[in-house]
Structure 1
């Protein structure tokens, strides 16, 4: 295989709603370019894209699939992405390394919730996009209505380059207004007859042509001048204008195909090879230092690893993009993230499980390496003297969480290893072994996401697991001042134990002053601060520890022990055993014994004094609150809002967005446990949501009462 230059490389993501035909289109393209001799089907479980056992089992894409092929002297690399919102992390990584999104639209369904969500991702990244209307030969296909639907959502930038003649079962061909040709298929044929546009279509074709001509000219001043001067443009000039329009997102071309019958796929592939932007034509990404890294084949070598899979008989396959420079077999590079050396022994262009060995790749190329010793998704390998690191791929926040446990305790370690590997393959999975909750928490994009993970664990790794309701990471705090003292005294022959601690607790907020006097039951306690320690708690919030000991009542060497005792109780709050936060503790008095006092005595005295004072200081439980944004069709707005209010949500506002409502709310994490499933049920799968941690808030008194009773019952059982 020849070494392709950067301007001969095209990197494209195939996206679209679940069921829109992405995998089928990929299969047709691989057949057209000769990489496969026979097209597989999803029903036959023999497609190039869906080759993992779980994908064959469920009949839908779980992972993105990279496939490269040569076409018209170009190196075309496409990434077929899953359509389900549950696997949107794959779309994030694919869009991060490609330069054009090809969005499939089902001609029988139009704009769907997946279309909207994915378009929003593409728009956020400012990526070029084009639409491909699939299933145009289906009996329920409606081209005109679907174009109207697209324009309602995405405006006049939506510009058809092709349109079908006949509708549904009357479909008999495609008019290509750019080529000014009519493609007509005979029954059972995949290759069309290329004809002149019929007289019956000339007026309509001329209208579409004029719209396309003006749209192409608008995107370049030179082309605009030529258009004004001559009243038209050549096909090559129009292609140039269309490409520039896509790059600036001023033009969203529309093509037509029947992926299942391989109709018009060849023409689409020709267009992509000519009009899809190459890596050097789009804005270059920045490294972590904010420096733009141009895809310069003469620059220092940098490889960014955006995807990892683990395949039988091979092990890890690491997919990368050459961000700068060139890479050759046998190159020695440095992992900028892990400070380790790597030799890139072999590099491959891939198409699913098929691998084509290559000796050299230039900037912009996407390829794979196998058996690298210490490379993870998100790592960068650099040549000597280069220190690029990239983190521009933003994976979606998790929306569905479950605790996971091996049914057989002996498999616990094996389960953790498998989960770590799955996290490498899918960075949108979040795995947390929670010391606080004493659970392993797995968070993902939805119920199907975790259901798929469970299938893989049980069928591939032979680890039977249970999903459990995850515990909620509550926090404890106080709402008023309180005072307590505690004497720890133990005498049982030999050296005894003695320590006495007097302290005050109060709720702490940032910047609050330290009072000089506290009053409890008519008694004043004067404070003379000798030392203040502010401890940033790893679970959020602060502990402020004030030493106000005067007259040597407690030796300074025992204060760390007192603090340790208090921290022990902060880690296991007095109410429910949850972490405590935002407390100021003033140790102002105490007693010690010249012989029996030691660190353990003051640690226990401090712990117990703090526990007593905490319980008397109006203790409250805090719960995690999440900012939730729901995108929902207007018809379902009332039902969705009622459901949220039943989840103790506080509605923060609403916005209209082209037939959809965007509902913003603050919802307790406890109430979001099964929300993705419920929302899908309420809206027939037409709504989506995002959630992100906001802060902690006090739970209502009835909820606190219930939590206290539940904790008390658990303690009795233990």
Structure 2
């Protein structure tokens, strides 16, 4: 394979709803570039893009595939992105490194859920976009309704460049209103005949041609002047205007064809080569310090790893984009994220499951390598003279959580290794080992997303696992003042154990003054504060510990042991075993024995005195509350609002955003289990949401009683 310079490289990402034909389109593009000798099909499970076992089981893309083809002395890098929103972890990195997005539309269905969702991501990343209306050979293909749906979702910026003459089972050609030619195709060979536009189509072709000319002229003042003077533009002038319009996201060209029958694919590739931007014609990327980095082959070498795969018999495969300079086989680079040295022993151009060995790659190109020791996704590798570190790819917050456990306890360690490796491949899967909940919690983009992981554990790695409902990280606190004492006394022949502790506790409010006078059950307690320690708790909130011992009732050396006992009970709250927080504890009296008192005795006395006081101090369970923002189609608002009411949600705000209704609500985490699945069911997959932690607040009394009963039952069973 030849080496391609920056001005010979185009980088695109194929987007679209599952089933729109992205993988088939990519297969045909590679076939036309002679990168593969025969075209595979999704149904036959032999495409180079969907090559993993799980993708062949589901007959759909689950992971992004990095591909390439060669056409007109150019290298066209292609990322075939998954269509389901559960697998957005493959979409976001592709948008980060690609320069143009090609939104593939199924002509049978028009704009679908995945189209709308991925269109919002394209807008967020500010990428040029074009449409390819696919599957026009299907008997249910409907060009007019498809165009209507595109205009409804993406506006009049979407401009027709091609339209089919006979969509349906007889589809074999289209009219290109940029070239003003009628192209027909023979079978599925891609063999094309150029014809004059039939007289019956001339009015339609002229109307669409004029609309395209106007759209192209609007994006360039000099072209607008030519258009007003001559009333038309040349093909070259139109291409210039379209290029600028795409760069500004003011124009989204619409192409048509059939990936399956190889109709229009060469023309699509020709347009991408001639009109879409080269890597160095886009906005320069910036590093973490905000410094612009030129995409220049003569600059120092810097590459950014945007994807990591783990493959049997190979190990980790790192996919990267050359940001600047050039990378060569045998080159030594420094990982700027961990300051380790890495040698690029082998370089490949990736075509899905096929890898082509190369010796060098220039700025703007994609490649992959193996056997790197300390390099993962989001890492920057630099050569001499390159100081840059590129910002990590930001992924959407998780929407689904579940606990996981191995059926065989002996598999726990192996399961943990696989989970950690999975996170490296898909950063949208987050693994949390919760000491508090005594569970391994998985966070993902949806139920199907995590079910795919479960399939891999069960089938690929032969680890039988179960998903169980995740526990909720409740907190415990108090609402009023209480006092208690406890004497720990134990005699067992020799030296015994003795320690007596008297405490008073109250809720901690940040900024409130220290209190020295309390009245508890009619008894006045006056404190002489001799020492104060504020413990900032790892799980949030504080414990404030006062030493109010006078007259040597308890020696100072035993006070840390009392605090240790209290902290043990803070870590396992008296109500449900959850963490306790925001409490002030004053030790004001006690007794000790000259021989039998020791640290253990006072630790146990402090622990039990705190436990007894806690239970009479108006104890309350607090639950985590999240802010949930939901984007929902207007016709589904009632269903979604009704479901939220059943989840104890409080609506905080409503509005509209890009054709969707937006709901902002406060919802307890305990009510969000499997919400992504429910929301998808209520809205036929058209709604989307994200959630972020807000605060802890007290649970209602009836729910607290239920939680107490459940905990008591668990304690009895244990």
- TM-score, normalised relative to structure 2: 0.95
C-alpha spacing 1:323/1:546, structure 2 compared with 1 (3 Å): farther
SS at match of 2:76: strand
Residue 694 of structure 2 corresponds to 694
Residue 535 of structure 2 corresponds to 535
Residue 545 of structure 1 corresponds to 545
* Contact 1:96–1:392, Cα closer than 8 Å, also in 2: no
Residue 31 of structure 2 corresponds to 31
* Contact 1:15–1:82, Cα closer than 8 Å, also in 2: yes
Q: Does residue 49 in structure 1 map to residue 14 in structure 2?
A: no
C-alpha spacing 1:505/1:283, structure 2 compared with 1 (3 Å): farther
Q: Does residue 207 in structure 1 map to residue 207 in structure 2?
A: yes
C-alpha spacing 1:591/1:300, structure 2 compared with 1 (3 Å): farther
Residue 382 of structure 1 corresponds to 382
642-651 or 117-126, larger mean C-alpha shift: 642-651
SS at match of 1:560: helix
* Contact 1:473–1:578, Cα closer than 8 Å, also in 2: yes
Residue 663 of structure 1 corresponds to 663
Q: What is the distance in 2 between the residues matched to 1:207 and 1:554?
A: 96
Superposition deviation, residue 171 in structure 1: 4.2
Q: What is the distance in 2 between the residues matched to 1:592 and 1:29?
A: 85
Residue 467 of structure 2 corresponds to 467
Superposition deviation, residue 385 in structure 1: 5.2
Superposition deviation, residue 214 in structure 1: 2.0
SS at match of 1:155: helix
SS at match of 2:534: strand
For each residue in 1:413-439, what CA deviation from the matched residue of structure 2 results, as whole angstroms up to 9, or x when unmatched? 111111111111111111112111111
243-252 or 78-87, larger mean C-alpha shift: 243-252
SS at match of 1:185: strand
Q: What is the distance in 1 between the residues matched to 2:694 and 2:282?
A: 35
Q: What is the distance in 2 between the residues matched to 1:449 and 1:375?
A: 25
Residue 518 of structure 2 corresponds to 518
Q: What is the distance in 2 between the residues matched to 1:658 and 1:380?
A: 35
C-alpha spacing 1:637/1:590, structure 2 compared with 1 (3 Å): same
* Contact 2:629–2:689, Cα closer than 8 Å, also in 1: yes
Q: Does residue 356 in structure 1 map to residue 356 in structure 2?
A: yes
Residue 675 of structure 2 corresponds to 675
Alignment of 1:60-71 (within 5 A): 60-71=60-71
* Contact 2:35–2:70, Cα closer than 8 Å, also in 1: no
Q: What is the distance in 2 between the residues matched to 1:119 and 1:142?
A: 21
Q: Does residue 298 in structure 1 map to residue 259 in structure 2?
A: no
C-alpha spacing 1:300/1:519, structure 2 compared with 1 (3 Å): farther
Alignment of 1:485-634 (within 5 A): 485-634=485-634
Q: What is the distance in 2 between the residues matched to 1:289 and 1:496?
A: 64
Alignment of 1:217-256 (within 5 A): 217-256=217-256
For each residue in 1:471-507, what CA deviation from the matched residue of structure 2 results, as whole angstroms up to 9, or x when unmatched? 1221112222222222323333333333333333222
Q: What is the distance in 1 between the residues matched to 2:532 and 2:68?
A: 63
* Contact 1:489–1:498, Cα closer than 8 Å, also in 2: yes
* Contact 1:285–1:392, Cα closer than 8 Å, also in 2: no
* Contact 2:562–2:606, Cα closer than 8 Å, also in 1: yes
C-alpha spacing 1:430/1:196, structure 2 compared with 1 (3 Å): same
Superposition deviation, residue 374 in structure 1: 1.7
Residue 651 of structure 2 corresponds to 651
Superposition deviation, residue 184 in structure 1: 1.8
For each residue in 1:269-289, what CA deviation from the matched residue of structure 2 results, as whole angstroms up to 9, or x when unmatched? 111112222222222333233
Q: What is the distance in 2 between the residues matched to 1:384 and 1:699?
A: 58
Q: What is the distance in 1 between the residues matched to 2:697 and 2:617?
A: 17
Residue 81 of structure 1 corresponds to 81
Residue 345 of structure 2 corresponds to 345
C-alpha spacing 1:552/1:270, structure 2 compared with 1 (3 Å): farther
Superposition deviation, residue 464 in structure 1: 1.3
Residue 259 of structure 1 corresponds to 259
* Contact 1:152–1:658, Cα closer than 8 Å, also in 2: no
Superposition deviation, residue 127 in structure 1: 1.8
Q: What is the distance in 2 between the residues matched to 1:129 and 1:71?
A: 21
Residue 421 of structure 2 corresponds to 421
Residue 284 of structure 1 corresponds to 284
User: How many correspondences in the alignment?
Assistant: 718
SS at match of 2:271: helix
Superposition deviation, residue 365 in structure 1: 1.6
C-alpha spacing 1:496/1:288, structure 2 compared with 1 (3 Å): farther
Q: Does residue 168 in structure 1 map to residue 168 in structure 2?
A: yes
Alignment of 1:9-28 (within 5 A): 9-28=9-28
C-alpha spacing 1:545/1:95, structure 2 compared with 1 (3 Å): farther
Residue 196 of structure 1 corresponds to 196
Residue 458 of structure 1 corresponds to 458
C-alpha spacing 1:459/1:224, structure 2 compared with 1 (3 Å): same
Q: What is the distance in 1 between the residues matched to 2:664 and 2:297?
A: 46
Q: Does residue 129 in structure 1 map to residue 129 in structure 2?
A: yes
For each residue in 1:313-359, what CA deviation from the matched residue of structure 2 results, as whole angstroms up to 9, or x when unmatched? 21211111122222111111222222322111111111011111111
* Contact 1:113–1:688, Cα closer than 8 Å, also in 2: no
* Contact 2:188–2:262, Cα closer than 8 Å, also in 1: no
Q: What is the distance in 1 between the residues matched to 2:529 and 2:326?
A: 63
C-alpha spacing 1:481/1:290, structure 2 compared with 1 (3 Å): farther
C-alpha spacing 1:238/1:437, structure 2 compared with 1 (3 Å): same
Residue 437 of structure 2 corresponds to 437
Superposition deviation, residue 658 in structure 1: 5.5
C-alpha spacing 1:381/1:172, structure 2 compared with 1 (3 Å): closer
Superposition deviation, residue 58 in structure 1: 1.3
Residue 412 of structure 1 corresponds to 412
* Contact 1:126–1:249, Cα closer than 8 Å, also in 2: yes
SS at match of 2:10: strand
C-alpha spacing 1:300/1:484, structure 2 compared with 1 (3 Å): farther
CA RMSD of aligned residues (A): 2.1
Q: What is the distance in 2 between the residues matched to 1:466 and 1:7?
A: 52
Q: What is the distance in 2 between the residues matched to 1:550 and 1:232?
A: 98
Q: What is the distance in 2 between the residues matched to 1:582 and 1:532?
A: 15
SS at match of 2:559: helix
Residue 308 of structure 2 corresponds to 308
Q: What is the distance in 1 between the residues matched to 2:327 and 2:525?
A: 72
SS at match of 2:191: coil
Residue 402 of structure 1 corresponds to 402
* Contact 2:34–2:70, Cα closer than 8 Å, also in 1: no
Superposition deviation, residue 197 in structure 1: 1.8
Q: What is the distance in 1 between the residues matched to 2:547 and 2:209?
A: 82
C-alpha spacing 1:665/1:440, structure 2 compared with 1 (3 Å): same
Q: What is the distance in 1 between the residues matched to 2:533 and 2:227?
A: 73
Q: What is the distance in 2 between the residues matched to 1:129 and 1:540?
A: 45
Q: What is the distance in 1 between the residues matched to 2:53 and 2:534?
A: 53
For each residue in 1:620-664, what CA deviation from the matched residue of structure 2 results, as whole angstroms up to 9, or x when unmatched? 112222222333333322222222222222223333346543333
